[in-house]
């Protein structure tokens, strides 16, 4: 009740004083966790700052890419494709895309030299689920887990790797591989030379100290996120 009257008061103030209570700029920019899994290696994995802006590709020229594409969002903001474009320019890899006619968007054909074939295409996932719209229509927000994956549409699973962030030298730890979308354990995935069992568990041991970036792989699946593990003496 107190909360309700408080929000009413805030709403009233908002209406009375549009300048003091102006809505935040939806295109001020945000930081997403971007991962780009190429054909045989990870092209990029890390945080990226992005906002909606025009993007230019060799095959599509310049197109706006701020989520207002195809009228799908009323306000401009950061998108799945601007995150890709901003990571590419800062971290020095290339990408290309052709006009996605009818959707006012870009169909991404190539990232980091991995170019689509007649059967293998780039897919976009948010929180391990395919996005329902194209990359310049798909708005992204703070902390999103955004994945661009090569040959995404023929894969059985999008792997997720969890486990401890520290380990002792020569002491085993157990990592867990799951399907990122369903949470089901995945058997037969490999990480650090070991293979997951039917519970998705992989027992690994490191014989030297330092920071280890471990990923799980399986031929029928998109490789996992990188699990960072600090190995202590």
Ligand X SMILES: *[C@@H]1O[C@H](CO)[C@@H](O)[C@H](O)[C@H]1NC(C)=O
The DSSP secondary-structure symbol of 23 reads P
Give the closest residue to 143 by CA, choosing from 222, 75, 48.
48
Nearer to ligand X, 36 or 133 (CB): 133
185: β partners? 178
Which range of residues in 40-48, 58-66, 76-84, 218-226 is near ligand X by CB under 6 A?
Answer: 58-66
Distances in Å between the Cα of 4 and the Cα atoms of 13, 15, 16, 30, 67 are 14, 17, 18, 30, 32
Cβ atoms of residues 80 and 135 within 8 Å: yes
54 interacts with ligand X by CB under 6 A? yes
Which range of residues in 28-36, 57-65, 78-86, 222-230 is near ligand X by CB under 6 A?
Answer: 57-65
Half-sphere exposure of residue 175, counting CA atoms within 13 Å on the CB side?
34
55 interacts with ligand X by CB under 6 A? no
CB of 159 to ligand X, least distance (A): 28
Edge-to-edge order in the sheet of strand 129-130: 42-50, 30-37, 145-150, 122-126, 129-130
63 interacts with ligand X by CB under 6 A? yes
CB of 54 to ligand X, least distance (A): 4
Q: Which of 33, 39, 45, 64 binds ligand X (CB under 6 A)?
A: 64
Footprint (CB under 6 A) of ligand X, residues 100-159: none
Q: Which of 17, 170, 184, 199 binds ligand X (CB under 6 A)?
A: 170
Residue ranges binding ligand X (CB under 6 A): 54, 62-64, 169-170, 207
């Amino acid at each position: 009740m107190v909360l309700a009257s408080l929000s009413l008061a805030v709403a009233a103030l908002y209406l009375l004083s549009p300048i003091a209570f102006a809505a935040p700029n939806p295109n001020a920019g945000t930081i997403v966790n971007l991962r780009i899994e190429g054909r045989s290696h990870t092209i990029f994995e890390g945080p990226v700052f992005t906002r909606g802006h025009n993007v230019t590709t060799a095959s599509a020229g310049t197109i706006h890419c701020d989520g207002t594409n195809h009228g799908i969002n009323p306000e401009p903001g950061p998108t799945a494709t601007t995150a890709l474009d901003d990571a590419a320019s800062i971290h020095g890899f290339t990408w290309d895309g052709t006009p996605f006619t009818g959707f006012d968007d870009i169909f991404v054909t190539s990232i980091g030299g991995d170019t689509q074939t007649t059967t293998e295409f780039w897919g976009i996932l948010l929180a391990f689920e395919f996005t329902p719209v194209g990359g310049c229509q798909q708005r992204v927000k703070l902390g999103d887990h955004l994945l661009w994956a090569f040959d995404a549409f023929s894969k059985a699973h999008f792997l997720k790797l969890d486990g401890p962030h520290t380990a002792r030298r020569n002491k085993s730890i157990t990592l867990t591989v799951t399907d990122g979308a369903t949470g089901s354990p995945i058997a037969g995935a490999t990480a650090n030379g070991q293979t997951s069992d039917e519970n998705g568990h992989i027992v690994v041991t490191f014989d030297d100290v330092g920071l280890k970036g471990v990923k799980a792989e399986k031929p029928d699946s998109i490789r996992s996120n990188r699990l960072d593990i600090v190995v202590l003496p």
